[in-house]
């Protein structure tokens, strides 16, 4: 698994962001039984930059906690069967499955951790788990999808040992 992390903007998070991100990405890939080595890009930014991205990509003019940019489309969430038929799904240099990009607002991580009454690390880990599921085709627009995604998130966080 390759995780590329870039950090921009002001402020930083009070723990090892790389170690926690690697733990969660690996846990998601294990829980989803991904048979491939995977590649994920993670950008840590601030409210101002994520607001601009949210406005540009989703036409919503406000800061958000996390944005997900999947590289692949799935008929069924998490179903990687047949993905080998898509030549551009794999990095030609490394052979890794390119899942996509995650963008997280450090400002939102800190604010939401305080709002929800848990650690900043727990909020950060949760947002990565949530976004990784989006990169694997999960969504939460319909009630049934939301239940499935919430169940997966809970199991991932439990397996990673990062609890409320």
What residues are designated binding site for Zn(2+)?
A: 130, 134, 140
Cα angle value 40/57/27 (rounded, 5°): 25
Locate 40 and state its tokens.
Answer: 């994920």
> For the chain, how long is the longest CA-to-CA vector?
45
Locate 146 and state its tokens.
Answer: 């939301």
- 152 burial (CB, 10 Å; 0-12 / 13-18 / 19+) is buried
């Amino acid at each position: 698994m390759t995780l590329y992390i870039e950090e921009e903007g002001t402020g930083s998070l009070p723990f090892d962001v790389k170690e926690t991100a690697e733990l969660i990405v690996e846990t998601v890939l294990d829980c989803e039984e991904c048979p491939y080595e995977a590649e994920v890009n993670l950008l840590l930014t601030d409210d101002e930059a994520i607001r601009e991205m949210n406005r540009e990509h989703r036409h919503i003019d406000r800061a958000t906690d996390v944005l997900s940019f999947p590289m692949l489309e799935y008929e069924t969430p998490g179903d990687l069967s047949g993905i080998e038929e898509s030549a551009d799904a794999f990095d030609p240099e490394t052979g890794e499955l390119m899942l996509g990009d995650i963008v997280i607002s450090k400002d939102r991580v800190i604010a939401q951790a305080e709002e929800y009454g848990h650690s900043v690390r727990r909020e950060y880990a949760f947002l990565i788990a949530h976004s990784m599921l989006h990169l694997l085709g999960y969504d939460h627009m319909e009630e049934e999808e939301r239940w499935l995604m919430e169940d997966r998130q809970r199991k991932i966080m439990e397996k990673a040992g990062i609890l409320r």
